[in-house]
Amino acid sequence: MVLCALPLQLGAQEIIGAAQPTKDFLLGKTHFEKDTNFVEIAPQYTVLRRPNNFIQKRTLEAFIKMREAALKDGVKLTATSASRNFWVQRYIWEQKWQKSTVAAGAARARSILQYNSMCGTSRHHWGTELDFNSPKLSYWNTPDGIKTYKWLCENAHKFGFYQPYTVKGPGLREHGYNEEKWHWSYFPLSNIYMQKYKELISDEDLKGFLGEKHIGELKVIEHYVLGVAMPPEV
């Protein structure tokens, strides 16, 4: 029994991080350093340092291949954000909530939701998402930013990545976060988690932070978690 315990436990962790995610995993209630599917991104690829540099192994392998291909075309991809768990996201959200000048209520939540997720609803919980180079809109209008975005649009799909937060408009993505040119998702894993999220998570699972009562009114799951673009081939 004792001899069996460790491999079984490790096997279970492999599954949690991959094809059969638990509710806790989907909600970001994960300690990345203890999940064997997660590894640290090496310093040459990122500005992040422990404990902010964890990502799923498969996402990292795909990112490194994509980064090498981009370098050959004169484009440098540096990870500026990787995985954040529920508790880190709660800290970020509540800081924004407390500093906001918008009257407390749904309008305040909506204003923060332009670019920031409520805890339990961020794709960065899953180890499948990477932000590249800069989250500043101004960078993506510089020659370097324009070249980088063009390269990603033309090539990221070859490595399994796509942009979930595209431009919004009629016939396009209509709800949710504003466009994020820096945010790229490793679709082979993130699509599994999004489908499971749709199946397993409801408003009642999203608790324990300031502003939580506006979740239903703002249709956070429908508009923000599920209201993402899909890759063209899907």
Find the shortest distance in angstroms from Cβ 214 to Zn ion: 22
**CB closer to Zn ion, 92 vs 204:** 92
**CB closer to Zn ion, 40 vs 131:** 131
- Stretch in the footprint of Zn ion (CB under 5 A) among 33-41, 100-108, 123-131, 214-222: 123-131
- Stretch in the footprint of Zn ion (CB under 5 A) among 53-61, 111-119, 175-183, 209-217: 175-183
- Stretch in the footprint of Zn ion (CB under 5 A) among 33-41, 90-98, 131-139, 145-153: 131-139
- Find the farthest-apart pair of alpha carbons in the chain and give their distance in angstroms, rounded: 61
Q: Is residue 131 within the footprint of Zn ion (CB under 5 A)?
A: yes
User: DSSP label at 202?
Assistant: -
Q: Is residue 179 within the footprint of Zn ion (CB under 5 A)?
A: no
Residue closest to Zn ion, measured at CB: 183
For Zn ion (CB under 5 A), the number of binding residues is: 2
Please, what sign has the CA dihedral across residues 103, 104, 105, 111? positive
Find the shortest distance in angstroms from Cβ 133 to Zn ion: 12
Buried b (16+ CB within 10 A) or exposed e, 54-72: bbbebbbebbbebbebbee
Q: Is residue 90 within the footprint of Zn ion (CB under 5 A)?
A: no
Q: Is residue 125 within the footprint of Zn ion (CB under 5 A)?
A: no
Q: Looking at the DSSP assignment, which residues form a beta bridge with residue 185?
A: 129, 162
The C-alpha angle with vertex 170 and arms to 164 and 174, in degrees rounded to 5, equals 40
Q: Is residue 183 within the footprint of Zn ion (CB under 5 A)?
A: yes
Considering only CA atoms, which of 126, 129, 219, 130 is closest in space to residue 176? 219
How far is C-alpha 91 from the geometric centre of its chain's CA atoms?
16
Q: Is residue 181 within the footprint of Zn ion (CB under 5 A)?
A: no
**CB closer to Zn ion, 106 vs 115:** 115
The residue type of 165 is Y
**CB closer to Zn ion, 9 vs 95:** 95
Q: How many CA atoms lie within 13 A of 104 on its CB side?
A: 8
Site of interaction with Zn ion (CB under 5 A): 131, 183
